[in-house]
Structure 1
Amino acid sequence: MLVTVAVYAAGAQLRADHPDSYTVHRGDTLWSISARFLSKPWLWPEIWQANPQVHNPHLIYPGDVLDLSFVNGGPSLRLEPSIHHEGEAIPAIPLDKIKASLKDFRVVDPSEVKDAPYVMGFEEADITGSPGHNIYVRKLNAQPGQRWAIVRPTHVFRTFDDKEAQQSGEMAANVADSDVATQDTPWMEEWATDIGNVTPNHALRGKPLAMEVAVIGDAEVLRGGDPATLLVLNSTQEIRAGDRLMPINDDPYDPYYYPHAPKSLPQDGRVIAFAQDRLSQVGPYDVVVLSVGSKDGVDNGTTFALWQPGEKVPDDVDHSSWIRSSHKWVRLPDEYVGHVMVFRTFDRVSYALVMDGLKPVQKGARVRMPE
């Protein structure tokens, strides 16, 4: 154990320009503080672990003072707590940026959505449902009193394979939702027409990995049967015919995240989507979707470096003709972009938060070890 702590401390070196001390401010995160004085900010759990006087790095409050000094040639932190704690302890990452991705969305296999019970009608022949009104659901095997989540498909996530890509860059915005939504999934054709938002948020024709659904409300079973009668308890959108029902997810989400490098680098991990679909690129504290998940050994806190693939450009110097099409095309080197930390994993994909960056993150960025 002592050897392990020594190795961690050696890896988590202080920056040359680190301050002598730092007072914790409201709005700080453990990552942002560590970025001020650690050359590798994702190693803050290790350097705090090497300092037992800091009993819980997640219980640091505004007004606390971090005293940085060198002990026996190695980095050391000493926490001087404030007398009166103001507000809540600072988190590892800004939780307000990821709340929607924790609670309002799920990622499942497309077959789960296809086979799930569905809304087929509404009280008094209405065309939509709202809280306080009844809805009628087919294929639901449930008892009175049970609660169910009402979900709506939002995106189909697909692999990011250069050979399978047919459009990229600005052309992505011109792809019609139904054009990709119905590919390989004809059962979604009516949903794409009615809802208009079932689409992969990248313009690729790769293999489908998973489907994202938005949790738009919940309902309680009043009477069983086919169709069953349910009372809408709450909703963020109007309930429509074709919306699916899934079990309520009561699993609590751990607000504590410990960034760490992956045990091994997953093969060809990419940024395949953004939480804000309309954006062409994102930056720090934006949520991205990675094409790797728990089956690839990724867990909460896994930290990657992102590298943007180099562009393929013509060599205007080494050519034998003035005709551009005859020029030799060269792939430029990949460029470092920034770091992302995974905060929610599924089988084949993960949600990650962009923690820092030198350049905007674009879809297709590759994940690498955070060195």
Structure 2
Amino acid sequence: MIRKSIGLLAGMLVTVAVYAAGAQLRADHPDSYTVRRGDTLWSISARFLSKPWLWPEIWQANPQVHNPHLIYPGDVLDLSFVNGGPSLRLEPSVHHEGEAIPALPLDAIKQFLKDSRVVDPSQVKDAPYVMGFEQADLTGTAGQNIYVRKLNAQPGQRWAIVRPTHVFRTYGGDEAKQSDEMAANIADADVATTDTPWMEEWATDLGNVTPNHTFRGKTLGMEVTVIGEAEVLRSGDPATLLLLNSTMEVRAGDRLMPVDDNPYDPYYYPHPPKTLPENGRVIAFAQERLSQVGPYDVVVLSVGSKDGVDNGMTFSLWQPGEKVPDDVNHSSWMRDSHTWVKLPDEYVGHVMVFRTFDRVSYGLVMDGLKPVQKGARIQLPE
């Protein structure tokens, strides 16, 4: 089912440049594609383009399509040519099947869409907290009453129960403007450290919260995980709440925050940044015990909505080059006398942001040539 303008040369089936953005068609691109369940915007655009994040640059929506970035199973994407240049046209199905196609595989990111938040540490410190359970139990499970202090709420209101998990900080103490050498040196730093005055002060209040690396950089935010939901039965100090559900046992010291019914935007599309945020780095991994990650792993970036980052924004990741001695050009056999040379940065992969907070973002590694390590710098995806 080939649909191209009359007179189009067969040679145009190979990769061609598109507009000023430089989007390129894959040499093996299909002429049309029917959207299926399980597809994502990234996987579909990768069928047509060598740079999937540039899909909007060649998108031409039909007039009847209200939002060109919402596509559904059964829709047909057709590659056509307008004024000598390629354009993706959408032929909507008569009956949409299910929900719109997401930008990323939801199975890889779902726990970070609703169950995790990044807030200012002061919000956690000042939040209402669980202080006890009915029958003097040490922990609480669904169906039990829990007692909460500092809660100003009325009966019937629901609250999320959260547990602090990580403190995210920049690399180094100077707004993440430290040298690439420092970033490389701490790339493999152990996240499980409590060597900070902040940790000593809050150890009793917040439990086992760990900073994301050992350097005392500027605090970007605190990650909390939603572990349950409770409903107010009686106000007071302490207030009585019914624990409606929980993913783990609730402990004394767990915090309460308002329920967020719409924590994220499920519909967005891959796109490059208009300008590159300054000093963006990979500062943590979702799987904190790993020293490096790869495709479809979640990473934490040190830039957020206040830096101009939004959902779908795509970056390339570059690992800072190590500093090594030049064993050839030296005047002595002693290692300390060698000339030290910083190796070039190395491209390792692409990351797409799927949830942003003020100064921190969650991103999914989409592809890569090498494993991603902490300290990797973000650059324009080109």
TM-score, normalised with respect to structure 1: 0.87
Q: Secondary structure at the match of 1:205?
A: coil
Q: Which moved more, 1:79-88 or 1:231-240?
A: 79-88
Deviation at residue 269 of structure 1 after TM alignment: 0.6
1:111 aligned partner, one-letter code: S
Separation in 1, partners of 2:345, 2:184 = 21
Deviation at residue 81 of structure 1 after TM alignment: 6.3
Matched, 1:346 2:357: yes
1:150 aligned partner, one-letter code: I
Matched, 1:184 2:184: no
Separation in 2, partners of 1:10, 1:222 = 58
Q: Which moved more, 1:120-129 or 1:52-61?
A: 52-61
Q: Contact 1:9–1:47 at 8 Å: present in 2 too?
A: no
Matched, 1:52 2:62: yes
Alignment of 1:235-314 (within 5 A): 235-251=246-262, 253-314=264-325
Q: Which moved more, 1:157-166 or 1:360-369?
A: 157-166
Output one character per residue of 1:48-100: Cα deviation in whole Å (capped at 9) or x when no partner. 2x2437933432426x5544354433113345667887665432211222111
Output one character per residue of 1:247-296: Cα deviation in whole Å (capped at 9) or x when no partner. 11122532211222222211111010111111111112221111011111
Alignment of 1:48-87 (within 5 A): 48=59, 50-52=60-62, 55=65, 56-61=68-73, 66-79=77-90
Q: Contact 2:41–2:269 at 8 Å: present in 1 too?
A: no
Matched residue, 1:3: none
Q: 1:8 to 1:188 in 2, by over 3 A?
A: farther
Matched residue, 2:145: 134
Identity %: 77
Q: Which moved more, 1:345-354 or 1:161-170?
A: 161-170
Matched, 1:219 2:230: yes
Separation in 2, partners of 1:189, 1:10 = 51
Q: Which moved more, 1:95-104 or 1:17-26?
A: 17-26
Deviation at residue 25 of structure 1 after TM alignment: 4.6
Q: 1:308 to 1:99 in 2, by over 3 A?
A: same
Aligned residue among 162, 167, 191 for 1:156: 167
Q: 1:57 to 1:159 in 2, by over 3 A?
A: closer
Separation in 2, partners of 1:166, 1:229 = 50
Q: Contact 1:105–1:212 at 8 Å: present in 2 too?
A: yes
Q: Any stretches of 5+ residues in structure 2 without a counterpart?
A: 1-16, 173-177
Q: 1:217 to 1:279 in 2, by over 3 A?
A: same
Output one character per residue of 1:151-182: Cα deviation in whole Å (capped at 9) or x when no partner. 11000001023467796355x34x644x24x5
Separation in 2, partners of 1:53, 1:60 = 17
Q: Contact 2:61–2:90 at 8 Å: present in 1 too?
A: no
Separation in 2, partners of 1:46, 1:166 = 35
Q: Contact 1:13–1:75 at 8 Å: present in 2 too?
A: no
Q: Contact 1:118–1:243 at 8 Å: present in 2 too?
A: yes
Q: Contact 1:266–1:292 at 8 Å: present in 2 too?
A: yes
Q: Any stretches of 5+ residues in structure 1 without a counterpart?
A: 1-5
Aligned residues: 357
Matched residue, 1:168: 186
1:184 aligned partner, one-letter code: W
2:62 aligned partner, one-letter code: P
Deviation at residue 112 of structure 1 after TM alignment: 0.7
Matched residue, 2:348: 337
CA RMSD of aligned residues (A): 2.6
Q: Secondary structure at the match of 2:340?
A: strand
Q: Which moved more, 1:11-20 or 1:103-112?
A: 11-20
